[in-house]
């Protein structure tokens, strides 16, 4: 039965790919589809050490409030500020989650995108690019460009002074992965390599196949379709996500928790207005904290009934040394004016779940 279900899905995927590619080629001959672009150039991932640490622990900030720009500014400041990644005069890539044309929290809140772009320019970034690529679950939404427009992300990014790019319109670069079990190389967008600094800008949401989608999962939108986790190894979807993350290191993870999806996903599910922003230089620490938030609402059995450190994405990422392990996270929190009194209770639960003193 399970095999039949997967086969049907695969046939639907292929049918969708054919329809969409036919539509694109008829409407715009200049569009270079992601499964036709060249992938000849091989690169080595750029190494970057997380500067947001204190006493050998990865710092994570959680800020509650209503003013999004102020929340982001405060959350980054709590762990050391933008100066720690030296963005002045740099080309900065902002990678939101734009899986479909659906609104937040399926996709990143456009207000968060705009606020981040403005803060980057304020801190001296020479050029800011906002880029992503649509996913298989967004087949019927036609293109990244359409999704960006439909969600309001294009308008928010451009009004804030950013350039918008669709990764499928540009070349792909091949990265060899080391000491991996399920995938040996990965093709990534050239923008990941071209950028001086990368700001990872995911949402907090559950995912019916990958259990959850936060920082680690967001990188999948910068990889070539032929190597998406569901094509590589369906039985180890979550481990593949973690292994692919060896191909890059974001300089900062700013997690949009203005609204969180606490069951269902990735496109639709139960959502709650959480009014928070998380920031960390460590993907694992960011994901662990986001998992604590989802777990606190008690709605997703796959997360509620398992320790956050036992999640498969987390376990494999820790094994690969992509970030902090248990006992290596320090959480800083602050409630801004306008936030209700549930914030401190939420923080208490998160600390309990992620085992932070």
Q: Please identify every stretch of the chain with a pLDDT value under 50, giving residue numbers as ranges.
A: 1-7, 10, 13, 18-36, 38, 137-139
256-309 pLDDT per residue, tens: 999 999 999 999 999 999 999 999 999 999 999 999 999 999 999 999 999 999
Task: Give the pLDDT confidence score for residue 3 in this predicted structure.
Answer: 42
Task: Give Cα separations from 45 to 140, 187, 193, 204 (angstroms).
Answer: 33, 12, 8, 26
Task: Give the pLDDT confidence score for residue 68 in this predicted structure.
Answer: 97
Dist. CA 163–CA 212, nearest whole Å: 29
Structure tokens at 283: 């993907």
Q: Is the dihedral of CA 188, 192, 198, 203 positive or negative?
A: negative
Structure tokens at 173: 């670069």
Task: Give the pLDDT confidence score for residue 99 in this predicted structure.
Answer: 85
Question: Collapsing DSSP states into helix, strand and coil, what is residue 205?
Answer: strand
3-state SS, 2-38, equals HHHHHHHHHHHHHHHHHHHHHHHHHHCCCCCCCCCCC
Task: Give the pLDDT confidence score for residue 28 in this predicted structure.
Answer: 40
| pTM score | 0.89
Task: Give Cα separations from 247 to 55, 96, 139, 190, 197 (angstroms).
Answer: 27, 18, 26, 12, 15
């Amino acid at each position: 039965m399970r095999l039949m279900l997967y086969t049907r899905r695969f046939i639907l995927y292929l049918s969708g790919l054919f329809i969409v590619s036919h539509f694109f080629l008829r409407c715009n001959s200049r569009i270079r589809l992601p499964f036709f672009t060249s992938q000849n150039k091989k690169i080595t991932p750029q190494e970057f050490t997380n500067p947001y640490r204190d006493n050998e622990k990865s710092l994570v900030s959680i800020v509650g409030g209503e003013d999004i720009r102020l929340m982001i500014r405060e959350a980054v400041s709590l762990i050391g500020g933008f100066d720690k990644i030296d963005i002045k005069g740099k080309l900065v890539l902002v990678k939101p989650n734009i899986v479909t044309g659906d609104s937040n929290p399926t996709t990143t809140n456009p207000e968060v995108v705009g606020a981040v772009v403005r803060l980057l320019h304020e801190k001296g970034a020479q050029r800011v690019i906002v880029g992503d690529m649509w996913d298989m679950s967004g087949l019927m939404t036609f293109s990244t460009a359409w999704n960006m427009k439909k969600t309001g992300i294009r308008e928010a990014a451009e009004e804030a002074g950013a350039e918008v790019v669709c990764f499928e319109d540009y070349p792909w670069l091949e990265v060899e992965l080391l000491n991996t079990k399920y995938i040996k190389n990965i093709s990534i967008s050239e923008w990941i390599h071209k950028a001086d600094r990368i700001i990872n800008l995911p949402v907090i949401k559950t995912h019916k196949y990958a259990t959850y989608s936060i920082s680690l999962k967001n990188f999948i939108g910068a990889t070539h379709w032929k190597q998406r986790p569901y094509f590589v190894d369906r039985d180890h979807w979550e481990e593949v996500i973690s292994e692919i993350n060896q191909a890059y290191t974001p300089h900062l993870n700013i997690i949009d928790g203005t609204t969180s999806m606490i069951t269902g996903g990735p496109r639709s599910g139960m959502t709650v207005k959480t009014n928070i922003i998380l920031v960390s230089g460590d993907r694992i620490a960011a994901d662990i904290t986001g998992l604590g938030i989802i777990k606190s609402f008690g709605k997703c059995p796959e997360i509620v009934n398992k320790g956050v450190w036992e999640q498969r994405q987390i376990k494999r990422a820790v094994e690969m040394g992509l970030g902090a392990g248990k006992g290596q996270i320090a959480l800083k929190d602050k409630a801004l004016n306008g936030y209700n009194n549930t914030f401190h209770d939420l923080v208490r639960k998160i600390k309990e779940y992620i085992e932070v003193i």
